[in-house]
């Protein structure tokens, strides 16, 4: 009874493979190590916001309006006297939650559709590919803007908008390797043994492409954070007074010449997170791509 199972693909441990690649890349590549450290620092600040914030992010002190950075207000205050450092720390929660949930949803839906499209072929592949091409015709920010403008600004709507804009990317990432894998000998053996398409896709195709999907996830998490900040900047993000990085940049834009710190510090927060995620994604891509290893990179 155990003989048929030996003809299938050997079991993979995608999380172990990804973790090992991440560790090796971090120890060999300083840029990746810096990216991991910076992103983990932002996550720690977001999770422990009540511990790291020096003030309540919603408290207003009209006698301390537009105060520059000082020992009492590390990054200064805004036009309502609210502490910028505390608002940045709490704003990290909004950006990370929206980005992680949106990309996670897009990863599950997009990868599933991509594997289904690549494995089944025929009219299924054509239908999914045409729908993907239609969504890809719109830039991520424009598509997100259209969805949020139609549904209204809120956290669930922002997540839905960013997920819809990100799904096509994961469909393409999952579809291409699935087309190559479906002709491999171990997949043909699974078919000959009567394994169902669902079992083949979940147990033998998904584990082989999962690390590459996660690499794309890290890169698109940076894009999701930028899109959320952009939507907040144009007034389609989470409603004030809830602190968000994009909303803080928008509030400080009018004071950029007299109180530059209002917009500069939240912009630097976005820069740090996006740069860190791109460093992590580039390092993982280099570690998991066989062509990079063969070229000695």
Cβ proximity of 111 and 213 under 8 Å = yes
Distance in angstroms (rounded) separating the CA atoms of residues 87 and 6? 56
| Token output for 20 | 């090992």
User: Which of 24-33, 144-153, 182-191, 265-274 shows the lowest per-residue confidence on average (mean pLDDT)?
Assistant: 24-33
In a domain, 202, yes or no: yes
In a domain, 4, yes or no: no
Distance in angstroms (rounded) separating the CA atoms of residues 277 and 36? 8
In a domain, 7, yes or no: no
Query: Which range has the top average pLDDT, 119-133, 207-221, 249-263?
Result: 119-133
In a domain, 1, yes or no: no
The domain in which residue 221 lies consists of 14-58+72-294
The domain that holds 239 is classified in CATH as: 1.10.3720.10
3-state secondary structure of 98: helix
In a domain, 184, yes or no: yes
Answer yes or no: is pLDDT of 51 > 90.
Answer: yes
Cβ proximity of 197 and 254 under 8 Å = no
Cβ proximity of 82 and 102 under 8 Å = no
In a domain, 6, yes or no: no
pLDDT reported for residue 44: 95
Distance in angstroms (rounded) separating the CA atoms of residues 286 and 283? 5
Burial class (CB in 10 A: 0-12, 13-18, 19+), 168: buried
- Return the DSSP state at 76: -
In a domain, 31, yes or no: yes
pLDDT reported for residue 198: 87
Please state the domain count of the chain. Answer: 1
Find the mean pLDDT for residues 178-195. Answer: 85
Distance in angstroms (rounded) separating the CA atoms of residues 44 and 38? 10
User: Which of 16-30, 45-59, 275-289 shows the lowest per-residue confidence on average (mean pLDDT)?
Assistant: 16-30
In a domain, 65, yes or no: no
**Tens digits of residue pLDDT in 93-151:** 999 999 999 999 999 999 999 999 998 888 998 999 999 999 888 888 888 888 888 88
């Amino acid at each position: 009874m155990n003989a048929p199972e030996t003809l299938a693909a050997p079991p993979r441990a995608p999380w172990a493979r990804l973790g090992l690649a991440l560790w090796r890349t971090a120890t060999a590549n300083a840029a990746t190590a810096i990216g991991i450290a910076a992103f983990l620092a932002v996550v720690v600040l977001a999770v422990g916001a009540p511990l790291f914030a020096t003030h309540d992010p919603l408290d207003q002190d009209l006698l301390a309006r537009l105060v520059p950075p000082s020992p009492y207000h590390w990054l200064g205050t805004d036009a309502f006297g609210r502490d910028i450092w505390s608002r940045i720390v709490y704003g990290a929660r909004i950006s990370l939650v929206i980005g992680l949930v949106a990309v996670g949803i897009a990863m599950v839906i997009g990868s599933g559709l991509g594997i289904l499209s690549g494995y089944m072929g025929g009219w299924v592949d054509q239908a999914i590919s045409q729908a993907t091409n239609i969504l890809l015709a719109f830039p991520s920010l424009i598509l997100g803007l259209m969805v949020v403008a139609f549904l209204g600004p809120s956290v669930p709507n922002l997540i839905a908008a960013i997920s819809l804009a990100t799904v096509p990317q994961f469909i393409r990432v999952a579809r291409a390797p699935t087309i190559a894998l479906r002709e491999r000998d171990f997949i043909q053996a699974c078919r000959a043994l009567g394994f169902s398409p669902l079992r083949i896709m979940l147990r033998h195709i998904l584990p082989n492409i999962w690390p590459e999907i996660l690499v794309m996830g890290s890169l698109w998490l940076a894009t999701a954070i930028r899109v959320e900040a952009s939507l907040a900047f144009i007034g389609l993000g989470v409603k004030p007074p809830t602190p968000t990085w994009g909303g803080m940049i928008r509030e400080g834009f009018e004071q950029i010449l007299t109180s530059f710190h209002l917009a500069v510090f939240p912009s630097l927060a976005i820069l740090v997170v996006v740069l860190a995620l791109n460093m992590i994604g580039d390092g993982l891509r280099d570690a998991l791509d066989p062509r990079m290893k063969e070229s000695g990179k």
